[in-house]
């Protein structure tokens, strides 16, 4: 069976073609941005609130000669509307804290929820938002509760919601929720 991050990439890849605009909502060390940049997508927007994350991502993209198709933005994903004018088709959220940095700076459940809410209105029909939820830390537990309660309320006629989780793993292993927009609302 695919590990959570492998499955996340499969879901995203299925939605991406040469006309796609895609978003990495939490670029961190840049691994997901690099993955998106390696697909056929025409444009990648990548957000983080920490300068160190943007710097690490920029370096990784430069090393792979893929910086030119990416726009790295030092701002909260909550403000994505200020930067992304195009229609977009795929988004990844990799929640929690930045490895090898300050673990007190984490994604915030309320902000993540509001951002996903706004993105679901704007994303193309057929588009997907993949959220990898880490709940092995205090803020993560709260974030998981806020997000899962919200996801359960989404109208299935508009958004299909999938949860992918190994339910016998120890230590609050990360799991994935994918939201696919099936019609305009």
**Which residues would be at the binding site for ligand SAM (CB under 6 A)?**
26-32, 47-50, 53, 76-78, 94, 96, 98, 105, 107, 111
CB of 107 to ligand SAM, least distance (A): 4
CB of 28 to ligand SAM, least distance (A): 3
Which residue number places its CB atom closest to ligand SAM?
Answer: 28
Nearer to ligand SAM, 49 or 147 (CB): 49
Lookup result for tokens 């000669």 = 65
d(CA 165, CA 173): 8
Nearer to ligand SAM, 20 or 26 (CB): 26
Nearer to ligand SAM, 114 or 182 (CB): 114
- At a CB cut-off of 8 Å and minimum separation 6, what does 74 contact? 48, 49, 51, 54
Read off φ and ψ for residue 136, nearest 5 degrees. -90, 10
- At a CB cut-off of 8 Å and minimum separation 6, what does 24 contact? 32, 33, 36, 44, 45, 46, 47, 91, 92, 94
CB of 29 to ligand SAM, least distance (A): 3
CB of 175 to ligand SAM, least distance (A): 14
Burial of 167 (0-12, 13-18, 19+ CB in 10 A): exposed
Nearer to ligand SAM, 33 or 89 (CB): 33
CB of 125 to ligand SAM, least distance (A): 25
Nearer to ligand SAM, 20 or 107 (CB): 107
CB 160 within 8 A of CB 125: no
């Amino acid at each position: 069976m695919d590990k959570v991050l492998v499955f996340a990439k499969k879901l995203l890849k299925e939605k991406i073609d040469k006309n796609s605009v895609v978003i990495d909502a939490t670029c961190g060390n840049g691994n997901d941005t690099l993955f998106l940049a390696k697909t056929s997508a025409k444009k990648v927007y990548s957000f983080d609130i920490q300068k160190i994350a943007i710097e690490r991502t920029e370096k990784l993209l430069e090393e792979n000669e893929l910086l030119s198709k990416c726009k790295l933005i030092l701002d909260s994903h909550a403000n994505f509307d200020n930067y992304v004018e195009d229609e977009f088709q795929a988004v990844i959220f990799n929640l929690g804290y930045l490895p090898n940095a300050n673990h007190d700076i984490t994604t915030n459940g309320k902000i993540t929820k509001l951002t996903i809410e706004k993105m679901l209105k704007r994303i193309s029909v057929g588009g997907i938002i993949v959220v990898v939820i880490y709940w092995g830390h205090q803020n993560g537990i709260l974030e998981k509760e806020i997000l899962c309660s919200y996801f359960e309320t989404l109208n299935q006629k508009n958004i299909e919601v999938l949860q992918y989780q190994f339910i016998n793993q120890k230590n609050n292993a990360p799991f994935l929720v994918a939201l696919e927009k099936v019609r305009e609302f």
